Amino acid sequence: MAVHVPRLAVPQTSIDARYVFVGLAVVRMVLGGVAVLLAPWLYEEHAAVLVLMRPTKEVFLFAGFLSGLGDLAVPVAVVAALPLLLGGVWIFFGLGRAFQDDLADAELPGVAGRVLPKDRIDGLRDLLERKGIWVVFLGRLAAFPSSLMAAAAASSGVSWRAFVVADTAGAVLSMAIAIEAGRVLGRAYEDAGPWLTVLGVAVLVVLAGFAGRALTSGSSDS
């Protein structure tokens, strides 16, 4: 006699759980804005806190600059940066996965729509389809919306493992380059004064901008 074994239903992400991701994403974005406001009070004595709150290329450059002057240890800056440098972007991957079906159909309502603008997500999904997972890695090295790319990757079906490997490699390499560039500029500041340092920063910003534009333009090989 055959025994009937009931199939277990796979639980779907609940609306409440989905909006937990929205809340985390909003907190992440607000924290970066607060860091800008607090920067004049943080940069001298609490630079590691600034790195913790806003782990971006310009802040890494500044952290490296302080390291070049002997005012901040690189390991401290790295440890402070990692939670939001990686986790802050991975939140958006979870957000994109949670709203995957909704993003395919229409603009999201309310706060979710502001956090995940459909037109930008659609554009990044097209870019990802043309250029592959390498765009996640290279995007971390350029002036590029890594958080929105994470959401686009998730909503387009990129696996969590593939995304994390590409994103982590790009993020860590980008941080290392920015910190080392800052260290060089910090030593140049001591040897040659502020003007050379300002010029170096300007060149790095322009290069990152060009890299971002090159990444989002044109088509890739299939």
State residue 215's pLDDT score: 63
State residue 8's pLDDT score: 39
pTM (2 d.p.): 0.79
How confident is the model over 125-166, as pLDDT tens digits? Answer: 998 988 889 999 988 888 788 999 999 999 888 999 999 999
Higher per-residue confidence, 144 vs 221 = 144
Total domains in the fold of the chain: 1
The secondary structure of residue 112, as a DSSP letter, is H
CA proximity to 150, closest of 172, 169, 128: 128
CA proximity to 181, closest of 70, 67, 77: 67
77 lies in some domain: yes
**Mean pLDDT of the 87-94 span:** 94
> CA 17 from chain center: how many Å?
22
Cβ–Cβ contacts within 10 Å for residue 33, how many?
Answer: 11
Q: How far apart are CA 90 and CA 163, in angstroms?
A: 9
205 lies in some domain: yes
State residue 185's pLDDT score: 80
222 lies in some domain: no
> CA 177 from chain center: how many Å?
15
4 lies in some domain: no
Band (73; pLDDT cuts 50, 70, 90): very high
85 lies in some domain: yes
> Read out DSSP for 135-190?
HHHHHHHSS--HHHHHHHHHHTT--HHHHHHHHHHHHHHHHHHHHHHHHHHHHHHH
Higher per-residue confidence, 125 vs 193 = 125
10 lies in some domain: no
138 lies in some domain: yes
| pLDDT at residue 89 is higher than 90 | yes
Q: Domain residues for 20?
A: 15-104+111-216
1 lies in some domain: no
How confident is the model over 9-35, as pLDDT tens digits? Answer: 434 444 567 888 889 999 999 999 999
